[in-house]
Amino acid sequence: MSTPVQRPALIVADRWAEYQLLDCGDGMKQERWGSFSLVRPDPQIVWPRHGVAPGARWENWDGFYHRSDTGGGRWEFRRELPDHWKIGYAPLGLTFKIRPTSFKHTGLFPEQAVNWDWFSEKVRAARKAGREVSVLNLFGYTGAASVAAAKAGASVCHVDAAEGMVKWCRENAALSGLAAAPIRYITDDCLKFARRELKRGRRYDAVIMDPPTYGRGSSGELWRLEDHLWELLLECRALLSEQPLFFLINAYTARLSPTVVANLLAELFDGRPGAISAGEVGLPIQRDGKILPCGIYGRWEDSGSPKPGCC
């Protein structure tokens, strides 16, 4: 019997206090990160700004990222900003380091808070029932999901090919009061690491991943989404414990749609009791109430005991 799949749905991260998406339009977005306002480009914002004249200047910003016609870009700052600062996500008691990087990002994707809320509840419920929970986070970036899972009571293995991102994860854990939490910090190629974990006999109760379109492993290994994603999914399925809690795929690549991710999960978990959902993650725009879609997600979650021999 195939696993039921819900229709693609939009889920919105609307519980932030220290972050706000203030305005969007004309290919740009203005955000409040704690005490500072940043304006950054976003290719999905193809509509005009609401209630302002065409081409109107952005006002009241501290940092503005100017994209270059030849690729990349540069920050312009109206006042001296600290090298980095902190913002908190109060609903889960998390604190993160924010730093404007040369490639326009800040080290955090605030729309993912809606996923942190979801899996944190699942981890807490399992821990309350007396279960130990282990989570594998692949392509973990600066570790917001790893920190959220650890805060909920899971032991976590955080894997990213970039040493700097793994270090940033460790900093975020310390800021959230989790310096001594059971988090393994691994700098490695995700596919190779998953294969080695399988040989070592390790098992995980949950998997989180954010696969890129292209990437390089810690030793220069080439990752191509269309060539390696299914292979990685199979390895991760084999790493699951006998009673896994969830499997979460996040993506920011145009190569995947929510329906594609749902189909992948349906194939991966064919025959196992559970539920699959997929859709977009978004952020509310304060100025006009629109929702900015920021990426896609796909979730499988357990809904009963696994069948013998399945997965």
- How does pLDDT run across 235-265, given as a tens digit for each residue? 999 999 999 999 999 999 888 899 999 999 9
Classify each residue of 45-83 as buried b or exposed e, where b means 16 or more C-beta atoms within 10 Å of its C-beta.
beeebeeeeeeeebeebbbbbeeeeeeebeeeeeeebee
Q: DSSP letter for 83, please.
A: S
- How is the chain split into domains, by residue range? 5-15+82-302
What is the per-residue pLDDT for 218? 67
> 296 — phi, psi (to 5°)?
-125, 160
Cα–Cα distance list, 194 to 90, 158, 161, 276 (Å): 33, 12, 13, 23
What is the per-residue pLDDT for 23? 97
pTM: 0.93
DSSP H helical ranges for the chain? 113-128, 144-152, 163-175, 190-200, 225-239, 258-268
CA 226 to chain centre: 20
Other Cβ atoms less than 10 A from the Cβ of 111: the count is: 25
CA 244 to chain centre: 20
- How does pLDDT run across 197-230, given as a tens digit for each residue? 999 999 999 999 999 887 776 677 787 888 899 9
For the chain, which residues score pLDDT lower than 70?
A: 1-2, 4, 217-218, 304-311
What is the per-residue pLDDT for 48? 95
Work out the burial of residue 130: count CB atoms within 10 Å of its CB; fewer than 13 is exposed, 13-18 middle, 19 or more buried: exposed
135 and 154 Cβ atoms separated by less than 8 Å = yes
Distance, in Å, from the CA atom of 232 to the CA atom of 186, rounded to the nearest integer, reads 17
- The letter for the amino acid at 242 is E
Topology of domain 5-15+82-302 in CATH is Rossmann fold (3.40.50)
Dihedral sign from CA coordinates of 231, 232, 238, 243: negative
